Structure 1
Amino acid sequence: MPEGHSVHRIARQFRQNFQGHRVRVTSPQGRFVDGAAILDGRTVTDVKAVGKQMFIDFDDSVWLRVHLGMYGAWDFAGEITQDATIASANGRMGHTNQRGTDLAAAILDDAGENSLSSIGAPRKTRVRMSEQTKGLAGSEWETFPPEPVGAVRVRLLAEHAVADLRGPTACEVIDDSRVGEVIAKLGPDPLLDDSDEAEDRFTAVVRRKPTPIGLLLMDQSVVSGIGNVYRAELLFRAGVNPHTPGKLVPDETVRAIWQDWSRLLRIGVETGQMMTMDNLTGDDYRKAMAHRDDRHWVYKREGLPCRVCGTHILLEEMGARKLYWCPVCQR
């Protein structure tokens, strides 16, 4: 499932290429025909991400809410204008597979985290960003817009850009009041609000719960955007046993986790990858950006020695998701 940094990157890509443009909206798959009819011909006025959910604002206060879930992803095609801070070399945006921040110097992940293959939905895409289509012989599409491929739930088509949505958990047309209701149920997102009040809200909720902290961090009503990778890494970095009840985690530790999440989220948005190891430079940094095995402390390292103490990293299930942790460093 895409974590918060991916959804923020996708929202920024939409703002670059669709905000201010009138769009044709269709449902090639046929499962969103009524919603598409409501949105068709409207202008995209704003796009926002809150945690793992994205909200596209159309004129007359009509919104499209999208939650990608486990298998959802967006494909882009056409003359895509790239945000220099989140430049994506080509193709699919969903999960954590956008390419790096500098097209000329992007360090591409070899396991799909930063490539055209989606982590959760390993489907090849024919979509190419504009920089990649110029002068390419044998391009997979020759006219714009390209024909939809596969089960496209909704297509947004502007004059020079198209976005296709596949496999979302949620895709619905809502109004202003419903947007407010959905967001009110979500925990704070530090990319939208990194104020002391947001930190206090997160801390207060965690500190009154008997629920294990490893479950609380995945609860989107407690904090927005954290998924399986960031959960494991944040808890290791804080030295916290994932089974510790929230109310027993010291106040200063809970606040440190919030502040760390704020920092790691920003790194994820700017690089497109979940870099959770600190102080890497030169070859070590390039290696870590290219290989997931070299940029995480515990995630996907079950049975391997802890990078700090040498104890074998444990793997168990918590909240129906895999949990990785060190029983010594996280006592």
Structure 2
Amino acid sequence: MPEGHLLHHYARRLHADLAGRAVAASSPQGRFDARPFDGRRVERVHARGKHLFCEVQDAPVLHVHLGHDGLLLRTDDPSLPPLRGTRLRLATEGAAWSLIAPSRCEPLTPAARDDVLASLGPDPVVDTGPAAREEAVRRLTAKRSPVGTALLDQSVWAGLGNVWRAELPHLLRIDPARRVDAEEAGRLWDLSVRMLGDCVEPGKIITVPDGEPGERWVYKRDRCRGCGAPVRVQQLGGRTCYTCPAEQT
């Protein structure tokens, strides 16, 4: 499932291509009514957590959640035919973006958009100040569930998914099956801000800077990359979690 840093990556690129321009909007798949957006000028594209919003002049707010399998694909040749299964295509004279297999692609009123935003916790990509840190620590320590469950709760912190909830606690030697105190929560937040922020531009999850592309410390590994111990696999928050029993005690 795409995680929050990737939505910010998409939002920045979409904003660069579309903002200030009228777009040709269509639904090649036929499952979305693109007419309210067709020929309208895009004002802003932004993300929060795993949600992407496209603000269009005199039109509803376009809300996208990629879910488990969603993709956003770009071509710099808008004359090329759209891919089969494209739910929504937004094109200008210089680029075209195709949205494929999202879990949500919907028009929202500004009030409904604000409701979505209000349901989310601090986002480590954009909420980098001391007040946001304090709120992030408060929300995480207030949860009575294990930290590995709380990190998947988008009302606690917005944007973290299963890869980050495995890798971030491992880097700080925290067992995700227990709760954390304020000091640990602060260190987790600081690491999230740094690592998710660094991953926005490349649009990838990089947790092992000197490793091969896609290399992880514990996520979906048989053995811990650090110490070689067999990785422990358990269910937390309804998702499979990976930890090192030797380093995360």
The 3-state SS of whatever aligns with 1:37 is coil
Cα separation, 2, equivalents of 1:291 and 1:164 = 25
Cα offset, 1:319, TM superposition: 2.6
- Structure 1 stretches of 4+ moved >4 Å: none
Q: What does residue 178 of structure 1 align with?
A: 112
Query: Quick one: which of 206, 213, 223 aligns to 1:291?
Result: 213
Shift of 1:187: 0.9
User: Is the partner of 2:186 in helix, strand or coil?
Assistant: helix
Match of 1:322 in 2: 240
**What is the TM-score of this pair, normalised by structure 2?**
0.94
Instruction: Tell me which residue corresponds to 1:252.
Output: 183
| Counterpart secondary structure, 1:218 | coil
1:305, distance to aligned residue in structure 2 (A)? 4.3
Alignment correspondent of 1:267: 198
Which residue, 87, 91, 99 being the options, matches 1:165?
Answer: 99
Q: How does 1:70-85 map to 2 (within 5 A)?
A: 70-78=68-76
Is residue 234 from structure 1 mapped to residue 168 from structure 2 by the alignment? Answer: yes
What SS does structure 2 have at the residue aligned with 1:264?
Answer: helix
Alpha-carbon distance in structure 2 between the residues aligned to 1:149 and 1:271: 24
Contact 1:305/1:311, CA 8 A, preserved across alignment: yes
Structure 1 unaligned regions, length at least 5 = 80-143
Over 3 Å counting, the alpha-carbon distance change for 1:197 and 1:29 in structure 2 is same
Q: 1:38 aligns with which of 36, 39, 50?
A: 36
The offset of 1:157, in angstroms, is 1.7
C-alpha separation in 2, matches of 1:148 and 1:162:
9
Counterpart position of 2:12 = 12
SS of the residue 2:201 aligns to: helix
1:301 corresponds in structure 2 to 221
Question: Following the alignment from structure 1 to structure 2, what is the Cα–Cα distance between the partners of residues 190 and 318?
Answer: 22
Once the two structures are TM-superposed, the CA of residue 323 in structure 1 deviates from its matched residue by 0.9
What's the CA shift string for 1:247-283, capped at 9, x where partnerless?
xx12110000000000001111133322213xx5xxx
Question: Any conservation in 2 of the 1:267–1:274 contact (CA below 8 Å)?
Answer: no
Aligned 1:23-62 pairs, distance under 5 A? 23-33=23-33, 36-60=34-58, 62=60
Residue 141 of structure 1 is matched in structure 2 by none
Residue pair 1:306, 1:326 contacting (<8 A) in 2 also: no
Mapped contact 1:71–1:167 kept (Cα < 8 A):
yes
Distance in 2, matches of 1:152 and 1:172, equals 14
Identity of aligned residues (%): 36
Whether the 8 Å contact between 1:306 and 1:313 is mirrored in structure 2 is no
Aligned residues: 249
Alpha-carbon distance change, 271 to 163 in structure 1, aligned in 2, over 3 angstroms: closer
Instruction: Give yes or no for contact 2:217–2:224 (8 Å, CA) kept in 1.
Output: no
Contact 2:170 2:243 in 1 (8 A): yes
TM-score by length of 1: 0.72
Is structure 2 residue 124 aligned with structure 1 residue 187?
A: no
Change (3 A) 1:32 1:217: same
Q: 1:313 to 1:32 in 2, by over 3 A?
A: same
1:176 is displaced (CA, Å) by 1.6
Deviation at 1:318, TM superposition (A): 2.2
